[in-house]
Each structure stands twice: as C-alpha cells, then as structure tokens.
Homo-oligomer: A and B are copies of this chain.
Amino acid sequence: MIAHIRIQQEDFDLNDEIEALTGETSGIGAVANFVGVVRGDDGLTALTVEHYPGMTERQIGSCVEEARGRWPLLGITIIHRIGTLQPGARIVLVAVAAAHRGAAFSACEFLMDYLKTRAPFWKREDCGDEVRWVEPRVSDADAAKRWA
C-alpha cells in the first residue's frame, strides 16, 4: 500500500489525487475523501497555518501505520496546507482507497480524528485587526478517543 503525505502551501487537484490513488491498484472499489475548508463565519479574513517540520511528517506517518494495521487499505493520500489561506480555501485532504467502502470510510474518519489531535499544526485567525490562535475543540479530543 502506497501512502502519499505532503505538507504544502499550494492548493491540490482532487482529480489528480484520486487518479493517482486509484491508478496504482486494480482492486480498488471505494475511495473515501475528506476535504477541510476554511470557514468564513465569525468575520474571519485570513487563516494562517503553522507546523513543526519533521514532527508533522513523523506523526502523520505513525497515524497512517496505525490505520493500515486496523483496516485492509489499498492507498492513502494526506495533504495539509500551510501558510495563509482565505475563507473558502481548502486546507486538508485525506483520501483512503480500499476494496470496499466500510474500511475506506472508517480509516478516513480515523485519520482525520488523529490528524486533528496529534499532528503539530496550529491555526491563527485574522478577524479584521484582531488576531487569535485557535483553541482546540473538546469534540475533536472526544472523536479521537473513539478509536482508543
């Protein structure tokens, strides 16, 4: 199983990413994807994503290994954008390929929950002149606990 992990400023092309995943193996019947989008509510004007280079790839890599041990997966692509993003911009892609949809859906949710609570990213919100660091959501910690 091939895992693609990328941390980048640029946007991603969903068609290309899904084709890259499904072109690799003939047994793929299901691709579950999650696309995170910068919400434009609460007067947000820009969102800046910072990360810990090295640790990010290591933590995402260990989430991927854990997912592979739990479900019969045929491919994983994780892309997380960094830098300054506008409302409506795509911020993260988690795509999981498998023979059947049950494994693909479960692993995609698992990876998002683990990414949210383990990968060292931090978001700073600009709302006009005000700047604030995003606080973690309790619901994200609860979501990750489901898999323990």
- Which A residues contact B (CB, under 8 angstroms)? 13-15, 18, 22-23, 26-41, 87-88, 90, 97, 99-102, 104-105, 108-109, 112, 139, 143
Contacts and interface: CB of A to CB of B under 8 A. Distances in A.
A40 B14 CA distance: 22
A30 B36 contact: yes
Residue of A14, A36, A99, A143 with highest tally of chain B CB at under 10 A: A14
Contacts of A88: 22-23, 26
When all copies of this chain in the complex are counted, the total is 2
Main secondary structure of the interface of A (DSSP, over half): mixed
A39 B15 contact: no
A40 B27 contact: yes
